[in-house]
Structure 1
Amino acid sequence: MESININQSIAKNAQFIEEIGIESGQPVQKCYQCGKCTAGCPVAFAMDYTPNQVIRMVQLGMKEELLKSETIWICASCSTCSTRCPCEVEIAHVMETLRIMAGRSGTAPAGKAKYVEVMYDALLGTVEKYGRTYEVGLVLNNNLKSGKLFNGADMGLPMFQKGKLQLMPSKVQGAAEIARIFAEVRKMEGGVK
């Protein structure tokens, strides 16, 4: 990270800082960088910025760096960080807000994070289309979009033989309600995807 003038950054990016607080509903300004969130994060080792660094970057208004970060996509949303925070900042909500903002701005994840987005989209796509996770469709969609066509293929037949996979998706009741929920979320996210 390059050096920045803190006062200039905060003044220049005050709208972004306020927007994160409002959209996430989190008091990010309360964070005093104790590091407990990062110490408990099970995926911090794979992140380009640790959870406490993300919160500090929000406090400094470092919008571009955050929206291009792999961290916001790698976050598992397990909320370990949130439960450990003495200031009661739910960092997982902040990460989700940053993902939504990245999507709205058209900022595509880079590096290994692009595969997380592909899986995320494939999972939500099957839930939207079928009302629940359809594993075969999920894997096929993910493999096609990631370019890893045979990823996990060795597990398919044994899982099918043990009755763990269904070739065809099952029908669910309330398909219209599921479609309404997805439409409402898209509206809240500003029309993303």
Structure 2
Amino acid sequence: MVASLPESIVPDSSFRKQVERLSGRRVSACFQCEKCTNGCPLTFAMDIPPHKLIRLAHLGLKDTVLNSDTIWVCASCETCTTRCPNGIDIAHIMDILRQVSQREGIRASKKDVPVFHSTFIASMKRWGRVHEMEMAAMYTLKSAGLKGLMAQSKLGLEMFKKGKIKLLPYRLRPNSQVRNIFKNAGRKG
């Protein structure tokens, strides 16, 4: 599905400035070479290709950008960032756009994606790294309910038996550094 754009576009620099301030990156440096889009392994699933999303952010089309599936489909693999000749960290900008979207209460069209995102971040905050078993259990519980969690428990047990997931998390020491990172990021954003 391709997102539709308004017939007339009135540039609004306030959204561009917000994105640049939060990300520390200049979206206005993009000259639309399309290397990010051509290298992205998930472009096929996006409603707006990465280079166009950056252009829309530059133009200040906040609603179009924040309601896009693209920001949620992005896997943050950083292929786009690596390919960008201007050094724009597009993967980081996508993360910032997800955060702004959540803060403003804009819901993704695919309901489970933000659930995964928030569960992932919560695990990072709690342990200093992702605890896969807890994250998978919490994600399944939030997205599929208790019935879904029970249905997945057999798979989880098999993965545990094969040593694919750990029962107990490995906590980074000192975890206070990770908490400070999230605290500082919250202050800036």
**TM-score (ref. length: structure 2):** 0.84
Does residue 186 in structure 1 map to residue 186 in structure 2? yes
Tell me what 1:88 maps to: 87
Tell me what 1:135 maps to: 132
Per-residue deviation, 1:37:
0.9
Mark the CA change 1:135 to 1:109 in structure 2 (over 3 Å): closer, same or farther. Answer: same
Does the aligned pair in 1 maintain the 2:5–2:64 contact within 8 Å? no
Cα distance in structure 1, aligned partners of 2:55 and 2:171? 46
Per-residue deviation, 1:127:
2.4
Which runs of 5 or more structure 2 residues have no equivalent in the other structure?
A: none
Aligned to 2:123, which of 123, 126, 132?
A: 126
After TM superposition, the structure 1 stretch with the greater mean CA deviation from structure 2, 161-170 or 129-138, is 161-170
Matches within 5 A, 1:102-181: 102-111=101-110, 114-147=111-144, 149-150=148-149, 152-181=152-181
Give the secondary-structure state (helix, strand or coil) at the position aligned to 1:86: coil
Cα distance in structure 2, aligned partners of 1:170 and 1:35? 40
Does residue 69 in structure 1 map to residue 73 in structure 2? no
Give the secondary-structure state (helix, strand or coil) at the position aligned to 1:147: helix
Cα distance in structure 1, aligned partners of 2:32 and 2:85? 10
Per-residue deviation, 1:181:
2.6
Per-residue deviation, 1:65:
1.1
Per-residue deviation, 1:73:
1.4
Per-residue deviation, 1:3:
4.1
Tell me what 2:24 maps to: 25
Cα distance in structure 2, aligned partners of 1:182 and 1:3? 36
Per-residue deviation, 1:174:
1.5
Does residue 4 in structure 1 map to residue 7 in structure 2? yes
Cα distance in structure 1, aligned partners of 2:168 and 2:181? 24
Per-residue deviation, 1:103:
2.1
| Aligned residue type for 2:82 | T
Give the secondary-structure state (helix, strand or coil) at the position aligned to 2:185: helix
Per-residue deviation, 1:171:
4.5
| Aligned residue type for 2:121 | L
Measured on the aligned residues, the alpha-carbon RMSD in Å equals 2.1
Cα distance in structure 2, aligned partners of 1:72 and 1:59? 15
Per-residue deviation, 1:75:
0.9
**TM-score (ref. length: structure 1):** 0.83
Cα distance in structure 2, aligned partners of 1:143 and 1:77? 22
Mark the CA change 1:125 to 1:23 in structure 2 (over 3 Å): closer, same or farther. Answer: closer
Mark the CA change 1:182 to 1:32 in structure 2 (over 3 Å): closer, same or farther. Answer: closer
Mark the CA change 1:125 to 1:80 in structure 2 (over 3 Å): closer, same or farther. Answer: same
Aligned residues: 183
1:102-131 Cα deviation digits (max 9, x unpaired): 1221212222xx322211211221222233
After TM superposition, the structure 1 stretch with the greater mean CA deviation from structure 2, 51-60 or 14-23, is 14-23
Does the aligned pair in 1 maintain the 2:119–2:135 contact within 8 Å? yes
